[in-house]
């Protein structure tokens, strides 16, 4: 039984010794050492180690901008870009 909620890391990378609490996180991490990039963009053919990275990249090929600023109405294709933009409206300097 894995101890996912205890914080116990029982899956160790045999290349660098880094510990992971789940086998799936270890498997994803090992791709760093192998250079494996199994996820390919259908538009530009750039390859990624993780599906989530491919999915984020795919938004660069879309004109969709669903993340809209509530202050100035600028819109962005990815929430992290909106978050960065929102800092421009901050009164704390």
Interval 17-76: pLDDT, tens: 999 999 999 988 888 898 889 999 999 999 998 899 999 888 888 888 899 999 998 998
Q: Give the mean pLDDT of 73-83.
A: 89
Q: What is the pLDDT of residue 78?
A: 82
Token code pair at residue 25: 């996180």
CB 65 within 8 A of CB 72: no
Q: Give the mean pLDDT of 75-85.
A: 90
CB 67 within 8 A of CB 82: yes
Q: What is the DSSP letter of 57?
A: H
Token code pair at residue 86: 């929102």
Q: How far apart are CA 83 and CA 93, in angstroms?
A: 16
H helices of the chain, where? 23-34, 51-58, 79-86
pLDDT at 3 over 90: no
């Amino acid at each position: 039984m894995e101890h996912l909620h205890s914080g116990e890391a029982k899956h160790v990378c045999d290349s660098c010794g880094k510990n992971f609490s789940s086998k799936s996180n270890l498997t994803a991490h090992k791709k760093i050492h192998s250079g494996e990039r199994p996820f390919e963009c259908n538009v530009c053919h750039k390859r990624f180690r993780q599906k989530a990275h491919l999915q984020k990249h795919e938004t660069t090929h879309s004109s969709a901008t669903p993340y809209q600023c509530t202050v100035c109405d600028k819109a962005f294709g990815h929430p992290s870009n909106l978050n960065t933009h929102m800092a421009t409206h901050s009164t704390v300097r």
